[in-house]
A and B are shown apart, each in its own frame.
Chain A
Amino acid sequence: NAGVMQNPRHLVRRRGQEARLRCSPMKGHSHVYWYRQLPEEGLKFMVYLQKENIIDESGMPKERFSAEFPKEGPSILRIQQVVRGDSAAYFCASSPLSGGQGTGELFFGEGSRLTVL
């Protein structure tokens, strides 16, 4: 029973390039979350998606960042025209349940570490 799979584990980009991070949720999970951890900080919520729908993107920067979770395939977090401040660990998590049901438990992947030169 594979866990949440993220790739790439490490990604190096130069300023102005695009970064694409992929996340395959656990089998049977239809809810995907992206979190970002900046150096020396906690995890910050970015976006919550279900298949083909963005449910909550209140934590996403207004520009350059986008996320999708297509009917087939992994969820993608896309960062256009990366800047040095985008360097961080990006964690994907999945859940079999939607919020408000009292579990709150998310299953996290190992993260994708983006370094912008």
Chain B
Amino acid sequence: DQQVKQNSPSLSVQEGRISILNCDYTNSMFDYFLWYKKYPAEGPTFLISISSIKDKNEDGRFTVFLNKSAKHLSLHIVPSQPGDSAVYFCAAERSGATNKLIFGTGTLLAVQP
């Protein structure tokens, strides 16, 4: 039962353009969503998060949008840089669930110079 889904295994974008990574979830009890970035042979690192009471959170070049009615969130990276090339994982947490994160399968972003 995949509660958090990232349907695009990979995405290729030109440097300077916008990268949009998508994530869908099925459990309406999730109330916190996070994006993690992972380079090969390294652990995931936290990127940005959003509470379910908000629909947008911005941090520099990174913005996360949440559409609760559609159970969909997206990560926008503008402008994309070659150093952004990595696997991006969407994750969700349910309040009171002991910080247990449910991860999607990841999207490999390749930013072409």
Contacts and interface: CB of A to CB of B under 8 A. Distances in A.
Contacts of A103: 49, 99
B105 interface: yes
Interface size range on A against B = 20 to 34
A97 interface: yes
Contact of A108 (B6, B44, B95, B106): B44
Interface stretch (A14-22, A43-51, A65-73, A79-87): A43-51
A45 B102 contact: yes
A55 B101 contact: no
Nearest to A108: B43
A41 interface: yes
A111 B46 CA distance: 15
A99 B103 contact: no
Interface string B66-110: 000000000000000000000001010101111111111110000
B43 A100 contact: no
B91 to A, nearest CB: 8
A100 B44 contact: no
Given A104-B34, A104-B93, A108-B43, 10 more contacts: A4-B43, A45-B102, A55-B98, A91-B43, A99-B97, A99-B99, A104-B91, A107-B46, A109-B43, A111-B41
19 contacts: A33-B99, A41-B105, A42-B106, A43-B44, A45-B100, A48-B98, A97-B99, A98-B99, A99-B99, A99-B100, A100-B96, A100-B97, A104-B32, A105-B34, A107-B46, A108-B36, A108-B43, A108-B45, A109-B43
